[in-house]
Amino acid sequence: MAPTVYHDPVKLQVLTDENPQFLTSLTIPLLSDHTLWLLGFSAFAKDLLQQEAWAFKAVSLNVNGLNEPSLKFYQDILTRYQVVALQETRLTSPKSQDDNNFFLQTADSRAQALWSNQTWGSNVNRNGVALLFNGAHPFQDLQDVTHAYSTNPVLENRYLVVSAKLGPLQLFLHVVCGPAQPAERPPFFAALPRGFDDSATHLVFGDLNMTMDPEIDQASPSSSYHDVGRAEAFDWKISLGLLDFWRLENPGVREFTGPQARNRIDYCLASVDFYDNQEYLRRKGATAAQLRCLLLDFQDAEHDFALAPSETTERRLRDTRQAFSDFNTALRERNSVSKFDSDVATAETSSKQFFRAPASAELKLGISSVDTPSGISSDPAIIKATHREFWGRLFQSDSRDLNVEPRGFDPVQLRSILEHSTRKLTSTQHAMLDAPLTANDFFHAIKNTARGKAPGPDGLPAEYYQLFPPQWALVLELVYAAQFRKGRMTKFQRRAYLSLLFKKGSRSDPKNYRPLTLLNQDAKFGPKALAYRLDQVLPELLDPDQFGFVPGRDIRHALRYFLDLMDHCKATPTRDPAGAICLDFAKAFDSVKP
């Protein structure tokens, strides 16, 4: 749009009410200072300023201590998010806070940090919260206003509120770290401030250490451990007009974030006005007007009861609170039904292509012969025995009838290779890799396993485990712990189906097939969890020239690097001779040794 406006004299005349003036000394049409000044103060420019869009990404993290910060931590979070809420910082001295500010400024010189720590020594044992803003955040006039709204010692180092301007909105960003002990929750949530202006908009990041909905936020809904303090938290939530929009969008998802992945205790709550123009809010029928009316009714009832306590005002307060709760329940149920109807109408169904008979050419691609010392044989029994022996030796089968001799291992030779390596694991990385596999590791492995893959010998695909990830995660934690103690997996887990894919050459030679191994899914979750841990350290251990199998690197980077080298050689005045060598391992898979 901009080039058309700048280069079209007719449009410029409409916008500025004058004939546009161009600089005549240049070969390209550039506007004069006078015309640019008129354009800047035109109605068109004012509309652009009023419609300035904002967007930001935010995350809430329980960091479990920041007394040993690292530059990488701040680089990772500040490059991904504009707003970062931290709980359980556990800073024990001003030096710890200064160290964190140093790494924060090193990672982003324009970043800002607001810490809850006003005193030192009382912030240990699950205390300390903070708000970080990277240099690209859209807010203006950031101020820590915690003590302006609450001086209750119950909230010390567990609560932080920051005021900001976001376009036309007066926004308050809250960070809440609820007490872990049930007895401490009611006074804590009752002390959270409520005296904000009615026109204010709120955004809350919290590790509440408590579930808001026991039916869907707990692995065991009957457990009453998280009931204590919920009423006080709910009252504060209604007073500020807060809603759990993630739950409204995901009415049936059971996403657990607490220890051992058994409860959802981390929440991001927002005012209705914050989502007033969001498309998905209108799509699901939860209009902002309905929610705002319910909240205003409750606030009016709360005000009347505070001024004149009576049976009538108390009943009205109770009824408005129940109406708001009923609306949320009905909204969640309606969203759940809508999602089911959508899945039924739009989900993948079996087509004519699915039901068609296999093509005749595909039916003829079996292994019809095999090379033997005495020649080529077409006997099915010999084909089976030859392939079983070949692949059994390759995979080091422990079947007694094969009598496979274990491959040799030379630790001295391996040590002589590794001693030249200059990159080492830090003690923290070493501890992370050696840590026992937890239910949380298996939970994420199950959730992130791709669907639609062929199962192993037990016939159970990944979708089976993804029906109940929290329960299976607990089971796998016990199973793998026992297997690590014994030093091996069960025999059934070590079984696999082999699907042989022909490469090239003679179809009678087993070496000309690539094996596709179909393992049981439960045997793959452990390696997947370990692979995730390795992903955290591989970029630091492997040289930048290693482009494959490292997160964030791609073969395209190698190609770009090679093309840059070619251009560099061509641009060198001396034009020294240069060449490229392409190397590949012959039978790389067949030569792998444990």
Domain assignment present for 348: no
Q: What is the pLDDT of residues 119-175, one digit of tens each?
A: 655 545 558 899 999 988 888 889 999 988 888 888 888 999 999 988 778 899 999
With beta carbons less than 8 A apart as the criterion, state whether 140 and 122 touch. Answer: no
What's 130's domain CATH number? 3.60.10.10
In a domain, 422, yes or no: no
Residue 517, beta-bridge partner list: 498
360-403 tens-digit pLDDT: 554 456 788 999 988 899 999 999 999 988 988 888 888 888 88
Q: How far is CA 320 from CA 233, 288, 294, 300, in A?
A: 16, 17, 7, 9
331 with 313, same domain: the answer is yes
* 182 and 318 fall within a common domain: yes
Nearest CA among 336, 317, 318 for reference residue 328: 336
pLDDT (tens digit per residue) in 174-227: 999 998 888 999 999 999 998 888 888 899 998 888 888 888 888 787 778 888
Give a yes or no: residue 345 inside a domain: no
What pLDDT, on the 0 to 100 scale, is given for residue 245?
77
Ranges 3-17, 209-223, 236-250, 547-561: which has the least confidence: 3-17
Between 185 and 348, name the one with better pLDDT: 185
In a domain, 299, yes or no: yes
Please tell me the predicted confidence (pLDDT) of residue 570: 82
What is the spatial order of strands in the sheet that 266-271 belongs to? 140-144, 159-166, 169-177, 201-207, 266-271, 242-243
Considering the domain boundaries, does residue 101 fall inside one? yes
CA angle at 476 for the pair 474 and 478, rounded to the nearest 5°: 75
Same domain flag for 278 and 335: yes
Integer Cα distance of 119 and 201 in angstroms? 29
Half-sphere exposure of residue 495: CA atoms within 13 angstroms, side-chain side: 9
Mean pLDDT for 534-542 is 88
Yes or no: say if 445 and 532 are a contact pair by the CB < 8 Å rule.
Answer: yes
Note whether residue 537 is domain-resident: yes
pLDDT at 348 over 60: no
Radius of gyration of the chain (CA): 32
Contact residues for 71 (Cβ-Cβ < 8 A; gap 6+): 103, 106, 107
Q: For position 368, what pLDDT does the model report?
A: 86
The domain tally of the chain equals 5
Specify whether 226 is located in the same domain as 323.
yes
| In a shared domain, residues 210 and 96 | yes
Q: What is the number of residues in the chain?
A: 594
DSSP string for 543-589 = -TT--TTSTT--HHHHHHHHHHHHHHHHH-TT-----------TTTG
Is the domain of 172 the same as that of 261? yes
Among residues 302, 319, 340, which one ends one of the domains? 340
Contact between 154 and 201 (Cβ < 8 Å): no
pTM of structure: 0.45
Q: Are residues 409 and 474 in the same domain?
A: no
pLDDT in tens, 497-527: 888 888 888 889 998 888 888 999 999 999 9
Which one-letter DSSP state was computed for residue 259? G
**Which domain does 83 fall in, by range?**
58-340
Q: Are residues 540 and 559 in the same domain?
A: no
- Residue 559 binned pLDDT confidence (cut-offs 50, 70, 90): confident
The answer as to whether 98 is a domain residue is yes
Tokens representing 65 are 């201590």
The label of the residue with tokens 């482009």 reads: 547
Q: Is 438 within the bounds of a domain?
A: yes
CA distance 365 to 24: 75
Q: What is the DSSP string of 275-307?
A: GTT-HHHHHTT--HHHHHHHHHHHHHHHHHHHH
Same structural domain, 295 and 436: no
Q: Which pLDDT band, with edges at 50, 70 and 90, does 343 fall under?
A: low
Q: What is the pLDDT of residues 83-128, one digit of tens each?
A: 999 998 888 888 888 889 999 998 888 899 999 865 655 545 558 8
Confidence of residue 460 (pLDDT cuts 50, 70, 90): very high
pLDDT of residue 261: 74
User: Order of strands across the sheet with 129-133?
Assistant: 58-62, 83-87, 129-133, 112-115
244 and 206 within one domain: yes
| pLDDT in the model for residue 5 | 47
Please say whether the beta carbons of 91 and 66 come within 8 A: yes
- Whether residues 194 and 113 share a domain: the answer is yes
Same domain flag for 226 and 79: yes
